[in-house]
Amino acid sequence: MKRFSPAALARLGVLLSLAAAAALPPAPGAELVYRHCTGCHAITTVLAARGLDRPGWSAVLDRMEGYGLALPKGERTRLLDYLIARLGSRSSTPAAPAADAGGETLYREHCAACHENPNRAPPLVGRPEWGEHPEYLAQVVVFGVSGPLPGTSYAGAMEPLPYLDDATVARIVGYLAGVPFTVEDVARERTRGWTPSLVRLFRPLP
Ligand code: HEC
Ligand code: HEC
């Protein structure tokens, strides 16, 4: 499992400030989720994964431990029980809007925390070059991008977002580019296997 740099984790911290509106279904165990799951990202990230079964949530916890989550012994089971009971596949809570969300909602959920903050990342909405080259958007999400972006003051890096499935990427690209972009289009881009610095070379000019 890939480790995130401290800088990347610090950037994720901004998501916290956007968390105010979202809340977990109240029940014993919710406090554990607030305590252990909001240090690196907003609670909305957890809510968006609603509907997973026990193996699914267990795999999420494994991934988070790979990112640096340290769960005290004994709390993992309680936390998992809460997630399955309240945010699980057979829970009585309504399905997350994200499960059937449009591209704009998905963009807000997965991109806006960085890309609506000019100190963190370049703005993406309303850029005409995406209409000609929507595939670049998918490449950035799948492989990341790094290095100076000509015509901007950005010269950092964006980590790939490997947890976004093809359908989610397709909807976000379709929203930003304003042209249809299908699951098959995303799958085709994935086969390229590029590095972040290579993706930058295919950046379309404004
Ligand atoms: C040490 C940092 C850290 C902690 C603590 C943490 N996460 Fe995460 N989490 C991440 C990172 C990094 C990502 C990937 C980027 C993102 O989605 O913001 C992520 C993504 C996610 C995702 C979506 C992607 C996936 O892999 O499923 C879910 C769901 C999630 N976290 C749940 C949790 C839960 C539940 C907890 C508490 C038990 C938790 N996280 C605690 C770092 C953390
Ligand atoms: C954790 C913060 C973060 C998140 C979340 C994030 N990005 Fe980025 N993104 C960046 C940064 C930082 C850059 C600038 C990279 C550089 O300087 O080379 C960037 C660059 C880009 C670029 C290149 C812009 C250009 O002018 O060439 C695109 C396209 C992009 N991101 C798309 C997305 C999409 C789509 C999402 C959501 C699915 C997303 N990003 C989520 C931080 C983020």
Q: Is 128 exposed, middle or buried (0-12, 13-18, 19+ CB in 10 A)?
A: exposed
pLDDT at 89: 76
Which pLDDT does position 17 carry in this prediction? Answer: 39
Do residues 106 and 48 touch, judged by C-beta distance below 8 A? no
Distance 121 CA to ligand 2 centre (A): 6
Beta carbons of 81 and 18 less than 8 angstroms apart:
no
Give the pLDDT score at 20.
Answer: 39
Encode pLDDT of 115-130 as tens digits. Answer: 999 999 999 999 999 9
Cα of first residue to Cα of last residue in the chain, in angstroms, is 35
Residue 178: the pLDDT is 92
| C-alpha 68 – ligand 1 centre gap (Å) | 10
Residues in the chain with pLDDT values less than 50: 1, 13-21, 91-100
CA distances in angstroms from 206 to 23, 130, 131, listed in the order given: 40, 9, 11
Q: Please state, in angstroms and as integers, the Cα–Cα distance from residue 74 to each residue in 70, 81, 150, following that order.
A: 12, 12, 51
pLDDT of residue 193: 93
Q: What is the pLDDT of residue 6?
A: 60
Q: What is the predicted pLDDT for the residue at 182? A: 94
Tokens of 4: 């995130």
- In the prediction, which pLDDT does 31 show? 86
Ligand 1 centroid distance, CA of 200 (Å): 27
Amino acid letter, residue 100: D
**Residue carrying structure tokens 């963009």:** 107
At 107, list the tokens. Answer: 């963009």
Instruction: Compute the distance between CA of residue 202 and CA of residue 61 in angstroms, rounded to an integer.
Output: 35
Question: Ligand 1 mean position to 129 CA, how many Å?
Answer: 32
List residues near ligand 2 (CB under 6 A): 11-12, 110-111, 113-115, 120-122, 124, 137, 140-141, 145-147, 149, 152, 154-158, 161, 172, 203
69 CB within 6 A, ligand 1? yes
Mutate which of 140, 194, 202 for ligand 2 pocket (most atoms within 8 A of beta carbon): 140
Instruction: Starting from the CA of residue 145, give the closest ligand.
Output: 2
